[in-house]
């Protein structure tokens, strides 16, 4: 069994979502052989030198699950694009490229955070190009931690402002999405980012291709896709002991 999740946006300001993820990691996820986190595990990540009790708790839980046999794969999102090798080593996870083909014995998938295909917002396209540039990232990580925290606060503010202005997240650009599906051999596409959980049917070159969109996590509910070797299905992640 393989599990896919995305857009948890964990932070000390989201204790419910944090507890939900820790419970999921210690419970439901242990029934799987692999867990894929497709971006924005964290609300913001200002560098692998972060060191406080909250972050250590998350990293320790990932490490424990990994040490006990769960293969955990993490993709960068638009919020935690600075996750680096020190985080991966401490938590026992594998960092994934974006996009990432996943060829299984019975099916082929292609995984992505999804934001690279949101091309209808020129300001966001420019922002993504900047923060994903290795030279810019190196310069940013060399800055003092207080400066990086300010940058993280700005990123949160900018995202909240844009969401309020549009009242929704940008969806993937249709033509670019069809080109992406064609480029990746019409594999089933799984992504997050848009916070609009759904299953879309694409017809590309006469071939039917499914696109599964992961939902974001909240204080009392998460979203998960489950591959059982034959079918893909959506499953709600709920507190183990709801009030």
What is the second-level CATH architecture of the domain 2-237?
4-Layer Sandwich (3.60)
Give the predicted TM-score (pTM) of the model.
0.92
Q: Phi and psi for 238 in degrees, rounded to 5?
A: -125, 160
DSSP 3-state assignment of 176? helix
Cα separation of 194 and 173, whole Å?
12
**CB pairs under 8 A, 24+ apart, for 203-211?**
204/178, 209/181, 211/177, 211/181
Q: What is the pLDDT along the chain (243 residues), one digit of tens a residue?
A: 999 999 999 999 999 999 999 999 999 999 999 999 999 999 998 889 888 999 999 999 999 999 999 999 999 999 899 999 999 999 999 999 999 999 999 999 999 999 999 999 888 898 888 888 889 888 888 888 777 877 777 676 666 666 665 555 678 999 999 999 999 999 999 999 999 999 999 999 999 999 999 999 999 999 999 999 999 999 999 997 544
4, 217, 29, 72 alpha-carbon torsion, rounded to 10°: 60
């Amino acid at each position: 069994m393989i599990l896919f999740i995305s857009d948890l946006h964990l932070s000390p300001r989201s204790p419910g979502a944090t507890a939900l993820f820790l419970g999921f990691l210690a419970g439901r996820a242990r029934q799987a052989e692999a867990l894929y986190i497709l971006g924005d595990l964290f609300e913001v990540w200002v560098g692998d030198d972060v060191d406080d009790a909250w972050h250590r708790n998350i990293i320790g839980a990932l490490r424990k699950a990994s040490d006990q046999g769960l293969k955990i794969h993490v993709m960068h999102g638009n919020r935690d694009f600075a996750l680096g090798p020190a985080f991966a080593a401490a938590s026992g996870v594998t960092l994934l490229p974006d996009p990432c083909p996943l060829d299984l014995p019975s099916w082929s998938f292609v995984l992505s955070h999804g934001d690279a295909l949101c091309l209808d917002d020129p300001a966001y396209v420019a922002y993504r190009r900047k923060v994903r540039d290795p030279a810019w990232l190196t310069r940013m990580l060399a800055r003092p931690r207080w400066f990086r925290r300010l940058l993280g606060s700005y990123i949160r503010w900018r995202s909240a402002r844009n969401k309020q202005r549009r009242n929704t997240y940008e969806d993937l650009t249709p033509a670019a999405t069809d080109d992406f599906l064609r480029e990746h051999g019409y594999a089933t596409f799984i992504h997050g980012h848009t916070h609009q959980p759904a299953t879309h049917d694409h017809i590309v070159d006469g071939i039917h291709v499914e696109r599964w969109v992961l939902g974001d996590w909240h204080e009392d509910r998460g979203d998960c896709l489950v591959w059982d070797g034959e079918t893909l299905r959506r499953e709600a992640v709920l507190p183990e002991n709801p009030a």
